[in-house]
Amino acid sequence: MNDKPKDAKIICRCEDLTEDEIIKYIEQGYHTLEEIKRASRAGMGHCQGRTCQKLIAQIISKKLGIPLE
């Protein structure tokens, strides 16, 4: 049974991670794609990050106030 809110924005479909979960990792000190990947498995599913990597980078940029490279 999925305990995520119905309106949760899914960022990584392969690993079933929401935007709120990614934000929590950032708040815990994981500030790079690689750090979030290792902590959450985001980008390690079937698509290997092809669908979520850009979204996660945008969330990191917004939350930390750093430009996308």
Domains and CATH numbers, the chain: 10-64 (1.10.10.1100)
Average pLDDT over residues 32-46: 96
Average pLDDT over residues 10-27: 97
Task: Check if the beta carbon of residue 2 is closer than 8 Å to that of residue 28.
Answer: no
Q: Classify 17 as helix, strand or coil.
A: strand
Task: Check if the beta carbon of residue 23 is closer than 8 Å to that of residue 64.
Answer: no
Q: Against a cut of 0.85, is the pTM above it?
A: yes
pLDDT band at 1 (very low <50, low <70, confident <90, very high): very low
- Is the pLDDT at 63 greater than 70, yes or no? yes
- Is the pLDDT at 61 greater than 60, yes or no? yes
Average pLDDT over residues 18-38: 97
Looking at residue 3, its pLDDT comes to 73
